[in-house]
A and B are shown apart, each in its own frame.
Chain A
């Protein structure tokens, strides 16, 4: 994907997030402005606690900011209620987390079907698993698969409904080097073949080289945004 700017999918304007922890307030985000563009692969970099997850959760409708506005396309998300946000997640967002969060009682195929069943225009669950290279193992339960394989099922589950955005929070955090790279390849493939706007959170700077754009956070603020001139393929990365 080129870095040529298409129209923004998300627009965040001076969003802040404060967690109340009893007496003390923890500020996770302080006035973040951000645009995410259709089709791009953005990597969010930052130390632990810098506010990456908070930002992504707000974009994906899992959480609400304490201040500021978020627009998804033309719609303002900030005023949406829980039911609206549920519908938004259902239609438009795919999530991938560090811990795969598969349903242990469902097979790989069924974990994906869980989503295709409630989506409007999904691909078939088999195709989704094919895309992540797991069709041969689709009848296996999570406990019968390796961590990397489970994460790929989680990705298949996230993209099966053809979401407009794919949000990945430390998708390789729990994986070893080789499996981690395999998972990144899958994410890259989804982004390039389906054109899904993709955001990947990591604290591993090496991964940033596969992004169209890199957004760096520190203490709840965006401190740097840059476009990669020569984006690397995941197999070219090393750390």
Chain B
């Protein structure tokens, strides 16, 4: 049946996000917060994350154009960015954020610039995957969201 096929697609898409390391356990914490009163909580949080983190990316980009680099400022921005990423379970993004902060602490400008490209890459990749995932979920409708294994 159409609905079964969709459910399987949702479950498979979700599972692969975890298997491929894009998401970690924290994403499940968000899923657990969904209920009938808040059926789209995860998507809402993720949407908020992307709005907020896009702003931070802009800030970091501008800061990276300054010379010399203000590593403290960069680290502060990344602290925020990493915090949000961590809170939505964005595992690969978080890993790159950690690397970036290491370079900040070491005062390594080249490392920061290089790693930031990775941060943006992972950030964008996850966004695409999550958008596709949520599109499927929305298609399935509120009462039919696949129950996930814990």
Are both chains from one complex? Answer: no
